[in-house]
Amino acid sequence: MTTPLSYNPPKIPLKIIHIDSSVVVLNKPTGLLTVPGKPIEHSDCLLTRLRREIFGALLVHRLDLGTSGVIIFARTASSQVYLNKQFETRKTRKTYLARVKGHLKKDEGKIDLPINVDWPKRPIQKVCFKTGRNALTYYKVIERERSNISRVKLYPITGRSHQLRLHMKSIGHPILGDPLYADSAAWNTSSRLELHALSLEIAHPKTNNIQVYNAPAPF
């Protein structure tokens, strides 16, 4: 299901999970861009709001507009480099929660499908075995609800654009409320994209100790 996206970001205070001299970790709300978009009306975003309160906050990674949950920013240039390297070398551990259409047959498994941008339809992504970049996601079913909906934990190993959304669609279980990848029934089931970044495990730039930051799912 593809539909024009209107932008009406929520007017709510920042939800700070953790802050110190090196990092700030937020619980991003659904409906708010991580960084500014090109249109002037897309200038309101999480990074802009954060910089109003914490001068010089630096981007490390992004969450999609509709995705909520744990996101980390750096407070110094050296911290940004340190954190970026962990994402680039896949040293972080990310856990997401999603509600998807249908009941998955297996309790757990993996989705190993390469991804590339669908240029005529960008920003939509597609599975492409010829030119796609490798993309790997593990999943685990948490609950099979009565209404033909499954609650699943998703563990992305790679970090491709729209990876979790496209991977779940590709195995026949689109994420509820997804305006780009869900069919009309799954899209209309929820008023939001039911994808949430539950936790992020990452080494702290100052101590090198592994830290786990969590945000409970709102659904």
Chain centre to alpha carbon of residue 135: 15
Spatial contact of 219 and 151, defined as CB atoms under 8 Å apart = no
What type of residue is 74? A
Of the candidates 20, 44, 64, 112, the residue annotated as catalytic is 64
How far, in Å, are 5, 52, 83 from residue 175 at the CA level? Answer: 17, 33, 29
Active site residue 64: yes
Cα–Cα distances in Å, from 117 out to 72, 114, 120, 155, 168?
Answer: 26, 11, 9, 21, 16
The Cα 195–Cα 30 span in angstroms is 9
Of the candidates 92, 88, 55, 53, the one whose C-alpha atom is nearest the C-alpha of residue 72 is 92
Query: Which run of H or of E encompasses 13?
Result: none
Please state, in angstroms and as integers, the Cα–Cα distance from residue 202 to each residue in 141, 162, 177, 178, following that order.
24, 21, 29, 28
End-to-end CA distance of the chain: 22
Helices (H), 62-198: 77-88, 163-170, 184-188
Enumerate the active-site residues.
64
